[in-house]
Structure 1
């Protein structure tokens, strides 16, 4: 009996709607780039009428061998970038045909299922497919011999950049049995940001440190962990390990919002690429691809955007374009410019202000002037081999400083240049045993600073901080079908090599003493190498059971020479006898003086610190019903000491040379994380077109050997110093994270909630002695953070109007020298936003942040830098 499938159009976050909201969310033309604006205007009136048909007609490279139906469908989903959801499990007795070559998804399915008695249909918008098998138990006979089958629905998977989740969060996030969050392109474009760190505020369990609010570099805090590479921060998989010491956070990532495709956040340890040396998860800023700019059926395309606003939001614009030179080769390029001034703080509220950093209502030096550049080439060398090469540069100028006690303004000018180069190689031949990836990347961050102040010459004292990191990874995935279900093995190696160099262009002498190390010692030079090997097995049974087990081995080595400075007072007799007594031996009258001179002898301490650890992980997920997936996960993580922690020396710049000491004997931090979570995905709950998405995770984390600043006594000099030490006992963090959304087409609502409790150790041991002095662990995130976002879509989805309310609890840091500066109070912020799409190529976006003009100090910030007051922005976006 012949069989066919009847299916409606299935979409992702409004792909059900005419035109597709998600596809309208694009970067647009900027008035700052006049030439591109003219080109855009010429195209604005000619909207492609057959975009959906062109998408269906797009070809993909397939290599699917003959195999049982269930595994064949999984291979199809993987190779087409889609994820499979089975509403009824087909029998393994059906074998499919081999499919090799570049085909449309429809042609590939037709060839794969030919003669099997199974049919498939791709929806009109090309984002979904329905597949049925002849032996599905609940098949219902229909008229004329036609059978309506229980469907297998294929939806956008990990390659999807948007979905029906909260503000465009891809659906795979709510189907992944792990604590992950994604900030989608839709959310990025809808939220004009002074800094990319602002985009992280709505993610559960994630915080952006703002203690260095004058610095555009991003410091990410996940579940209470930050700095010293505890959270691995990446751009396209390339680690951003640069750090610089100061009075606030130390880790820095420089990236602009214009080129970000999505931000992927992993909140626990993983046995895969990117997990080496990560104690508290990872954040990966993924850049745009040619397919994001080129509409299906065209050979080229581009986008431009211009944003202006109030409160010194002067300009943020970008233009980017891509061209497909052939069916297998494309290139992409872009440029962005952001110019932001020193913002005014809010006027409503009672907060403590520092006259040294807030002047006439403005937080001084909170502006920046930055340019970013992106070049990317993508090639499909053969049907089963593709590669890419990307270069991203961020060039930022900004200043730091304050008013001194004399009322004069001290300004340190900063120029940061960040270059990230990544290359990837993917080979997926006609074999389920090979799905091979190789990556090579290099990141170099250089911070050129000119320090000004009373103790330094009038021209400023130049200091250069730099860190280069070279890394690579190789991994392969092999897939097998067993009697009990499907088994996949992912295994490989990765490594990275940090090379830090801090130097001055000239020596700095104070009262005849070389004090140069006071500028170079707090962000010291040194080398660090990290190696890792890993394997992870995933077993799936009948689409209701998933089990994972992984094992990673991490090894590190720190090498070089560290310096420890002592202090001695020497007596130098410069006298000469002017007149002797008659005995000719005893001096009666002296000329000259006896001088007391302070010297700082340098003790060179060799560093050769290495260690390794086995790190297991395990996960179990079940799906008792289609819409519910509880899961449990355990992971062990390992974070090697950094160059800064190991080689620290010197002291406060220009003041004290004997304040800090290195610690070549630090041991790595090790963590155990336990998680219980649940995923919920439901469509058609209250109406035919609505969707419900929810992820809730509870976690408990224990950390041994946590590294923090303490006071130590060094026998070489007989003096006490500040030094990084391993904290005794167990540092604990526990909490609850929730992200959820409801989308009914005409209106939507979403929320995120975080509860976090941290408990840091209060004692440490050094050289056999136990100290009760509490380390300066400053950054303790708030216990509660809550965001709710809701809006409406009107006039056939052309107009969107929404609002967002955010409440953040207060913080109470541990005792430390500067801790009182980092105490923050509860605050609530209210934002409104919206957009109007004139057509598929022109969109106007608008937003007002901090509508009530609240004066507040942001969480993980400092009272010397309150947050910005009311700010209105307008963005004009073009696609050409």
Structure 2
């Protein structure tokens, strides 16, 4: 029995009051942990010294009574946050990648426009790609971008190693917020305590599963060992072998001829090997270190066309080192993190030309952060200050075959669309939170972001010119100002020439050239001329970003809140340095050295509900509901524009800032009711997106060939509505769990603008799942995904890649 504690106290003081006179001692470990012990005489024969009991609270909690196992801290946080627990990940039948575990999160959906890729491209409240939403693994940013026909940003991680996925959908006040326009998705890897059973210093878990519909094999093995009370190691390997899946049979969707054969999606296979190595070291009672190395290796294919397969290899290495220093002082609760990420994507394009078929895309990123929390007890309440700095640098690089001719590089169309360049970002942040009498919480914050982006590229232009009778392969403008040279000739645009070099300038349409070679070609015909102009980009900037939150608790179970924040995203390397062009359509892209950063302003109005004993003494109800409005200035899209040195006769695809304000607003709800033997929960999202739909071309006056207010190119508009309903029962002392999941997505205008405008019909799918504890150490899982075998295109996907049809799966996990 402990002493009752009522009122508002710092955690340490509350624990002291609770345990006073009980004979139980305590000390604090890493953030959020209290280690309990006994104060009795350990030499007495009638006493037993227990191993430390570690109480995990806050963000260290693995699961809780919320929606799909969401821990309680989510429903105590006055912000729009969600968590995908390990319980939710494991109960998802036929998850072919980690992307399938995210679709039930309100406000979030994954882009599947290139559904064959093994990486994850997240869309949060309509924002995706180019770092608009920070994605990370254990805090290490995943900034790899590769342009294509779908989502650009890719994150590579296997579900076997994920203990939780944390999602923040507004501006991020602390680490992870630098350069983020709206949100953070952090994949947290498993720890030693997740693997070892209580009282054991060595152990592990092995899982293997298989199924129908090319769900060939998914398996993992994770082991952990405590070499001492202070030092532990964890290692694991996960394997995923997926074949070309069959699409559903129920529905009016016509299978695309080019990408589906015998109802199977071509080249949707993949083989993945993911490894994890982690070290956990309690350096002292106050200092803790965790080092992690995650390696992801995937092989497969993409492209989808039967005659044009693209073999793809993806390799990602993520290394993090985290120090947590939490002494007894209320002024210090510090965390230092350094990280490195290296992503490579090798592609072999089987287009019948070995000189232009092999490419390598890559990005290396490194960074770090240091943050601290200081706590004070004031007469008006408890004050906490959270402050720190973070920074990172991205280095992009793409290589391809060597040019086949001095004047023409056929590989530039692909290399220029994934251009090399560098960008670094530095950010400092501070926030203060005052909690008054356990009913009022006030938070104010300020961040300053600063960036620099630089690199070099070229703009290429292909044109046909009329060749005069004495045409030379090369012509050179002597001085560039049209002044005649006695040895030169005046050449008219129609190919006619004036042989008298002393003749005056004939006027507009003429230029002065002189032959530089003795070789003549195609007299009186046409000839292809290639222009190559070097472009250097070097830009920088910064912004002050305030934020504020007010939360009240009129009742212990109810917490309304309102927040305001500003955010800032500098251009990515791709957006500033884009060049080259589409394969077989060369030289249609151009960089934009003057592209401006995006700026966001967001309001959120929300409510948290957390109550036990609603209808019965043992039940629980949890809910979070949020309404948001976000305005974005200078949203960056692709559009057609001139590149002035080339002239107005040629338009290029380039990055542009949209005029006006891009508006996003919506409602997000997640809720659950759990009575032990039965549960029901769900999530609902309603999103409205209104992009600014015009932009200003460079120097509108003069020229021709481009509208001054054209539509931007493809933008991904999330569905207006989506919901998930999840309900089930627990039988035989909760050893058997049986559940049903219903997923509905409304009609989606997946893309619009000059490069595409297509609608994906609404769809509803049903999943069955269950588990049975064969023994305390062995759990059997089984499920059926897409029970009714619907033939549909996933939201933010395209008709070339319909979703998998009905799939049965089963797996067995054993702990030892």
Q: Normalising by the residue count of structure 1, what TM-score does the alignment of the two structures yield? A: 0.81
Give 1:181-200 correspondences, 5 Å limit.
181-192=82-93, 193-200=95-102
2:555 equivalent to 1:625: yes
- Work out the CA distance in 2 between the residues paired with 1:768 and 1:98: 74
Cα separation, partners in 2 of 1:4 and 1:226, compared to 1, 3 Å: closer
2:533 equivalent to 1:638: no
2:295 equivalent to 1:396: no
Point out the structure with the larger helix share.
1
Question: Which of 781, 806, 809 lines up with 1:845 in the alignment?
Answer: 781
Cα separation, partners in 2 of 1:499 and 1:696, compared to 1, 3 Å: same
- Work out the CA distance in 1 between the residues paired with 2:35 and 2:659: 61
| Structure 2 partner of 1:417 | 315
| Structure 1 partner of 2:390 | 494
| Structure 1 partner of 2:656 | 725
* CA deviation string 1:109-163 (max 9, x = no partner): 989xxxxxxxxxxxx99798xxxxxxxxxxxxxxxxxxxxxxxxxx832110100
- Work out the CA distance in 2 between the residues paired with 1:591 and 1:418: 52
* CA deviation string 1:356-402 (max 9, x = no partner): 01111011111110100000001010000011110001000110123
Residue 75 of structure 1 and its aligned partner are, at CA, apart by: 6.6
Cα separation, partners in 2 of 1:592 and 1:569, compared to 1, 3 Å: closer
Question: Which of 761, 764, 785 lines up with 1:828 in the alignment?
Answer: 764
Query: What secondary structure sits across from 2:77 in the alignment?
Result: coil
Give 1:370-449 correspondences, 5 Å limit.
370-403=272-305, 409-449=307-347
Worse-matched range after superposition: 102-111 or 528-537: 102-111
Query: What secondary structure sits across from 1:187 in the alignment?
Result: helix
- Work out the CA distance in 2 between the residues paired with 1:394 and 1:76: 44
- Work out the CA distance in 2 between the residues paired with 1:878 and 1:668: 50
- Work out the CA distance in 1 between the residues paired with 2:644 and 2:97: 46
- Work out the CA distance in 2 between the residues paired with 1:396 and 1:729: 42
| Structure 1 partner of 2:672 | 741
Residue 412 of structure 1 and its aligned partner are, at CA, apart by: 0.5
- Work out the CA distance in 2 between the residues paired with 1:277 and 1:214: 29
Worse-matched range after superposition: 655-664 or 560-569: 560-569
Query: What secondary structure sits across from 2:801 in the alignment?
Result: coil
- Kept in 1, the 8 Å contact 2:367–2:390? The answer is yes
- Work out the CA distance in 1 between the residues paired with 2:366 and 2:561: 36
Question: Which of 695, 699, 708 lines up with 1:771 in the alignment?
Answer: 708
Give 1:125-140 correspondences, 5 Å limit.
none
- Work out the CA distance in 1 between the residues paired with 2:678 and 2:74: 21
| Structure 2 partner of 1:657 | 586
Query: What secondary structure sits across from 1:771 in the alignment?
Result: coil
Query: What secondary structure sits across from 2:749 in the alignment?
Result: coil
| Structure 2 partner of 1:480 | 376
Residue 599 of structure 1 and its aligned partner are, at CA, apart by: 2.5
2:686 equivalent to 1:755: yes
RMSD, matched Cα: 2.8
Residue 436 of structure 1 and its aligned partner are, at CA, apart by: 1.2
- Kept in 1, the 8 Å contact 2:27–2:35? The answer is no
Give 1:493-642 correspondences, 5 Å limit.
493-508=389-404, 513-569=408-464, 571=467, 593-594=522-523, 596-642=526-572
- Work out the CA distance in 2 between the residues paired with 1:803 and 1:723: 47
- Kept in 1, the 8 Å contact 2:27–2:34? The answer is no
- Kept in 1, the 8 Å contact 2:356–2:400? The answer is no
Residue 6 of structure 1 and its aligned partner are, at CA, apart by: 8.5
Give 1:197-236 correspondences, 5 Å limit.
197-236=99-138
- Work out the CA distance in 1 between the residues paired with 2:321 and 2:520: 73
- Kept in 2, the 8 Å contact 1:632–1:677? The answer is yes
- Work out the CA distance in 2 between the residues paired with 1:767 and 1:232: 31
Q: Normalising by the residue count of structure 2, what TM-score does the alignment of the two structures yield? A: 0.87
- Work out the CA distance in 2 between the residues paired with 1:713 and 1:366: 38
| Structure 2 partner of 1:706 | 635
Residue 108 of structure 1 and its aligned partner are, at CA, apart by: 6.5
- Work out the CA distance in 2 between the residues paired with 1:333 and 1:796: 33
Question: Which of 648, 658, 682 lines up with 2:611 in the alignment?
Answer: 682
**Structure 2: runs of 5+ lacking an equivalent:** 41-50, 473-498, 500-518, 701-706
- Kept in 1, the 8 Å contact 2:712–2:754? The answer is no
* CA deviation string 1:778-809 (max 9, x = no partner): 31111000110000000111110010111100
- Work out the CA distance in 2 between the residues paired with 1:494 and 1:183: 26
Q: How many residues align?
A: 747
- Work out the CA distance in 1 between the residues paired with 2:690 and 2:659: 12
Cα separation, partners in 2 of 1:707 and 1:101, compared to 1, 3 Å: closer
2:269 equivalent to 1:367: yes
Cα separation, partners in 2 of 1:575 and 1:867, compared to 1, 3 Å: closer
Residue 771 of structure 1 and its aligned partner are, at CA, apart by: 2.6
- Work out the CA distance in 1 between the residues paired with 2:166 and 2:98: 13
* CA deviation string 1:22-73 (max 9, x = no partner): xxxxxxxxxxxxxxxxxxxxxxxxxxxxxxxxxxxxxxxxxxxxxx995443
- Kept in 2, the 8 Å contact 1:778–1:818? The answer is no
Give 1:266-305 correspondences, 5 Å limit.
266-305=168-207
- Kept in 2, the 8 Å contact 1:567–1:717? The answer is no
* CA deviation string 1:173-210 (max 9, x = no partner): 11111100000011111114101000001100000110
- Kept in 2, the 8 Å contact 1:209–1:219? The answer is yes
Question: Which of 784, 794, 805 lines up with 1:858 in the alignment?
Answer: 794
**Structure 1: runs of 5+ lacking an equivalent:** 8-67, 81-89, 112-123, 129-154, 577-584
- Work out the CA distance in 2 between the residues paired with 1:240 and 1:664: 24
